[in-house]
């Protein structure tokens, strides 16, 4: 049978199922699919390319949102102290202040070429040729990335960008931004500026940032003094600071150091001899290895504690910033602070109060101590009696406020009254003016007189010198009442710069006998008492000589601080004589130092029958110092008040040891005269009961007439008995700590001062600073 023709068969509508036809048809389908896929890929690639190009081009102007010139603002601050022998012309570094990063800025010109070359050789050998990005290394890094291999492709400029921005996300976006930022950075800054910033900014392990901090940490020297091997050792750290830190992994550092030296040699940055010598040195490297972190976190002594607080306050005032901002500025500003600390005095004081037998072995009793010279320099301070275990902690010398008791009397009552010519019973206040030691009417309220004296006795007409020597409360209240408590208050606040007083302290109880609302600090009391040793001048106490910013500009200088003449030199000198009698034969004899003139004033506070505070503020011709003692939580210390004076004497004696005793340099217009004890006036020919006093030669008292001028004979010498004062008042003449009232009421925070029992002859008083009993449960303060 004849086979049909294929073409006719197909043309007739039949399908060709021959093998050749089937293969041809399948090929066409595959070709169409491939063309379709290729078209899709091409279109997708174009779209992605356009998108990628647009993405990249959108970041071509990626801003450099930092200023290299401002990087110096984020650097470690330093505190320096006087050198050996308390020599301010030879300061030595005491400690560093920084947070998070220990960085010390060093200018490009002070960085040795070996350090620059070592870093460039190992991190970016084409640094001086490229424009921020090394495209050869970048391409190499991309190839290695595809092979899952690590390879650093970033230039020094790129690394600087990454370090400053702290933008280290692993992403294409980050890398592209980094590239463009690096390119733009090199348009804005020179190569030298970029390398300077890099060498000062990157991490070198163990908490250090920058080559200067690293050199000081690892080699105990400045980077400018480091040799080739040492520079190579530092340069080798940056790739992996923990792995290559010479303190943690010295062998790793040596291996990396030798790699750096090899790169420097290969790039002809060092000679053959230099390379050989450096390689030999690398085998026996010595690292200082002090802990940079430990140096920053070390516990300061109490002086540095006060110093840091004073610098923070200075920055707040100078730049009108808040506390937190000032702290941040201090820790990141790269300041150089030259401390005024007397290191020997500070050390001996801190060691002394660690004694187990301090306060008779009572480990709970605390103290605050503050000492300064008569030109404002703070010499030493103690915030408490324990071993200091932290920084930025509460200080009983500069922070804690406690009622002053009688220690305030020379500043608030007798000093300003004498200086301003206040008249008591129509007689100006002088060394010997007689004060009627009796209670004030309505002191505690209607019908309640006060304050009482600690010995429950009043002493009639008493010379100012004796009233202060034995701390009679009633006498002080009499003078304050005559002068007006507002005068006292304004003198303390405006002339002596007390900052802790409240408006409610504008009353007799707070001003005359020391019962303030919140109290006062040892620092401000000590600063006030300086006027009695330097002829009436007030110098603001300072703990630092001067402060330099990171550019070396002095921003605060206390070295030539001017003084304020707050009372006349003659007043200061007369008060000095009176206060010397407190120590030579009054309430402060426990503070006497053999061979030295010492002035001072004691004070205690009372709360009912308890005595929670004891004070002594005093001075010698070389130093003025104050001390407070008591419990952190107010408890009775009545039988321990002498310790305060004894500790003051011990601390000051240590400071004066080896120094030649000299007298006070008092105003030459002060003269010695004999006065009549019965009138307080200069002794006349008929006066028989006399004593020596000190006066302004241009303002002498009148001469006693020997008759009607006598006041002691006009009243009984025993004066008022305790029963003459209100039975509701404290036996020590006090005011309530718990009461609050208007400034017109003396009981808003009244306080009393101790006085001492006087013999019938009124020439040999004996008393206790603290009364043995109290007539009232009212919380109070006494001296």
CA–CA gap between residue 144 and residue 153 (Å, rounded): 10
Strand 624-630 to strand 366-372: parallel, antiparallel, or no bridges (unpaired)? Answer: antiparallel
Residue 304 backbone zone (phi > 0: left; psi -120 to 50: alpha; other: beta): alpha
- Report residue 133 as tokens: 């990005």
- Which of 702, 593, 723 lies closest to 653, judged by CA? 593
- Alpha-carbon distance of 766 to 292, in angstroms, equals 59
User: DSSP H helical segments within 637-694, as ranges?
Assistant: 641-656
198/161 Cα distance (integer angstroms)? 9
The phi, psi pair for 581, rounded to 5°, reads -70, -25
pLDDT the model gives residue 141: 55
- At 451 the pLDDT is 95
> How far apart (Å, rounded) are the C-alpha atoms in residues 587 and 469?
7
According to DSSP H, which parts of 530-626 are helical? 569-585
10 Å Cβ neighbour count for 490? 13
d(CA 783, CA 516): 12
Cβ neighbours for 187, distance < 8 A, ≥ 6 positions apart: none
96 phi, psi to nearest 5 deg: -120, 155
Query: Which of 335, 376, 395, 330 is CA-nearest to residue 542?
Result: 376
Q: Are 285 and 268 in contact (CB under 8 A)?
A: no
pLDDT digits (tens, 9 = 90+) for 316-356: 999 999 888 888 899 989 999 999 999 999 999 999 999 99
CA dist 475 → 452, 575, 694, 754 (Å): 10, 16, 20, 11
For residue 670, what are the β-bridge partners?
Answer: 696
Q: How far apart are the first and last CA of the chain?
A: 147
Widest CA span of the chain, in angstroms? 182
Domains by residue range for the chain, with CATH: 69-294 (1.10.3810.10), 405-541+562-749 (3.40.710.10)
Instruction: Report the predicted TM-score, pTM, of the whole model to 2 decimal places.
Output: 0.73
CB 548 within 8 A of CB 336: yes
**Residue 138 has what DSSP assignment?**
H
Task: Please tell me the distance from the alpha carbon of residue 90 to that of residue 358, in angstroms, as a whole number.
Answer: 36
Rounded CA Rg of the chain = 41
Contacts of 764 (CB under 8 A, 6+ apart): 758
Q: Which residue has the tokens 């005359």?
A: 512
Q: What is the pLDDT of residues 120-147, one digit of tens each?
A: 999 999 999 998 888 777 665 555 444 4
Q: Residue 38: phi, psi to the nearest 5?
A: -60, -40
- pLDDT lower than 50: segments of the chain: 1, 9-10, 144-147, 149-151, 170, 291-295, 714-781
DSSP state of 212: H
Instruction: Return the closest-CA partner of residue 542 out of 172, 153, 142, 88.
Output: 88
Three-class SS of 83-107: ECCCEEEEEEEEEEECCCCEECCCC
The structure tokens 């009461």 sit at 739
Sign of CA dihedral 636, 639, 642, 646: negative
* Residue 112: how many other CB atoms lie within 10 Å: 19
Measure the CA–CA gap between 229 and 278, rounded to whole angstroms. Answer: 5
How many CB atoms sit inside 10 A of residue 715's CB? 13
Report the candidate in 503, 444, 443, 735 with the shortest Cα–Cα distance to residue 605: 735
> In sequence order, what are the residues at sequence separation of 6 or more whose Cβ sits closer than 8 angstroms to the Cβ of residue 34?
none
CA torsion angle 585 589 593 599 (round to 10): -70
Pairing mode, if any, of strands 440-445 and 448-450? Answer: antiparallel
């Amino acid at each position: 049978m004849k086979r049909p023709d294929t073409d006719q068969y197909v043309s007739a509508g039949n399908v060709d199922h021959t093998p050749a036809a089937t293969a041809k048809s399948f090929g066409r389908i595959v070709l169409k699919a491939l063309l379709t896929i290729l078209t899709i890929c091409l279109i997708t690639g174009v779209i992605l390319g356009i998108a990628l190009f647009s993405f990249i081009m959108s970041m071509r102007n990626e801003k450099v949102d930092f200023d290299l010139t401002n990087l110096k603002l984020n650097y470690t601050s330093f505190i320096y102290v006087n050198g050996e022998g308390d020599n301010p012309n030879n300061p030595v570094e005491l400690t560093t202040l920084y947070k998070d990063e220990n960085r010390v800025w060093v200018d490009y010109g002070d960085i040795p070429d070996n350090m620059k070359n070592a870093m460039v050789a190992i991190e970016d050998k084409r640094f001086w040729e490229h424009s921020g990005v090394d495209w050869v290394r970048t391409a190499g890094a991309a190839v290695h990335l595809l092979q899952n291999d690590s390879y650093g492709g970033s230039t020094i400029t790129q690394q600087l960008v990454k370090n400053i921005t702290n933008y280290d996300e692993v992403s294409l976006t980050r890398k592209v931004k980094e590239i463009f930022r690096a390119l733009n950075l090199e348009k804005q800054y020179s190569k030298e500026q970029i390398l300077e910033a890099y060498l000062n900014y990157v991490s070198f392990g163990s908490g250090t940032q920058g080559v200067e901090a690293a050199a000081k940490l690892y080699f105990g020297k400045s980077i400018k003094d480091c040799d080739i091997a040492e520079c190579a050792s530092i340069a080798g750290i940056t790739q992996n600071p923990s792995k290559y830190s010479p303190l943690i992994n010295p062998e790793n550092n040596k291996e990396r150091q030798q790699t750096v030296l090899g790169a420097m040699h290969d790039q002809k940055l060092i000679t053959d001899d230099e390379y050989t010598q450096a390689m030999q040195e690398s085998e026996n490297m010595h690292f200082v290895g002090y802990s940079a972190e430990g140096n920053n976190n070390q516990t300061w002594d109490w002086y540095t504690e006060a110093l840091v607080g004073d610098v923070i306050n200075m920055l707040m005032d100078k730049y009108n910033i808040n506390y937190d901002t000032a702290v941040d500025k201090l820790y990141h500003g790269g300041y150089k602070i030259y401390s005024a600390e007397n290191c020997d005095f500070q050390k001996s004081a801190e060691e002394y109060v660690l004694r187990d037998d301090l306060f008779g072995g009572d480990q709970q009793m605390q103290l605050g101590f503050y000492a300064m010279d008569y030109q404002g320099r703070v010499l030493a301070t103690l915030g408490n009696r324990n071993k200091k275990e932290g920084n930025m902690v509460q200080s009983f010398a500069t922070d804690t406020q406690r009622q002053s008791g009688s220690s305030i009397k020379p500043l608030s009552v007798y000093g300003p009254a004498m200086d301003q010519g206040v008249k008591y019973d129509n007689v100006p206040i002088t060394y010997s003016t007689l004060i009627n030691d009796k209670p004030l009417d309505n002191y505690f309220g209607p019908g309640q007189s006060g304050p009482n004296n600690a010995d429950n006795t009043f002493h009639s007409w008493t010379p100012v010198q004796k009233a202060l020597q034995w701390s009679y409360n009633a006498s002080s209240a009499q003078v304050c009442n005559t002068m007006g408590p507002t005068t006292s208050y304004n003198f303390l606040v405006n002339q002596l710069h007390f900052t802790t007083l409240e408006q409610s302290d504008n009353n007799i109880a707070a001003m005359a006998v020391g019962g303030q609302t919140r109290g006062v600090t040892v620092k401000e009391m000590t600063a006030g008492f300086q006027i009695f040793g330097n002829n009436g001048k007030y110098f603001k106490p300072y703990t630092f000589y001067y402060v330099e910013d990171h550019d070396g500009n002095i921003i605060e200088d206390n070295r030539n601080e001017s003084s304020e003449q707050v009372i006349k030199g003659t007043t200061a000198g007369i008060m000095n004589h009176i206060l010397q009698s407190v120590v030579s034969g009054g309430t402060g004899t426990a503070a006497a130092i053999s061979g030295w003139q010492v002035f001072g004033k004691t004070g205690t506070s009372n709360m009912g029958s308890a005595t929670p505070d004891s004070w002594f503020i005093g001075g010698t011709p070389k130093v003025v110092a104050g001390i407070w003692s008591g419990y952190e939580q107010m408890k009775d210390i009545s039988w321990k008040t002498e310790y305060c004076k004894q500790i003051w004497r011990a601390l000051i004696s240590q400071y004066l040891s080896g120094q030649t005793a000299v007298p006070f340099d008092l105003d030459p217009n002060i003269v010695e005269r004999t006065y009549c004890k019965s009138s307080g006036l200069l002794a006349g020919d008929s006066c028989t009961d006399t004593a020596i006093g000190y006066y302004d030669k241009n303002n002498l008292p009148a001469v006693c007439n020997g008759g009607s001028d006598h006041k002691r004979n006009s009243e009984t010498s025993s004066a008022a008995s305790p029963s003459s004062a209100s039975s509701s008042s404290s036996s020590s003449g006090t005011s309530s700590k718990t009461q609050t009232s208007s400034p017109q009421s003396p009981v808003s925070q009244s306080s009393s001062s101790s006085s001492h029992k006087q013999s019938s002859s009124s020439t040999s008083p004996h008393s206790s600073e603290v009364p043995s009993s109290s007539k009232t449960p009212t919380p109070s303060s006494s001296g």
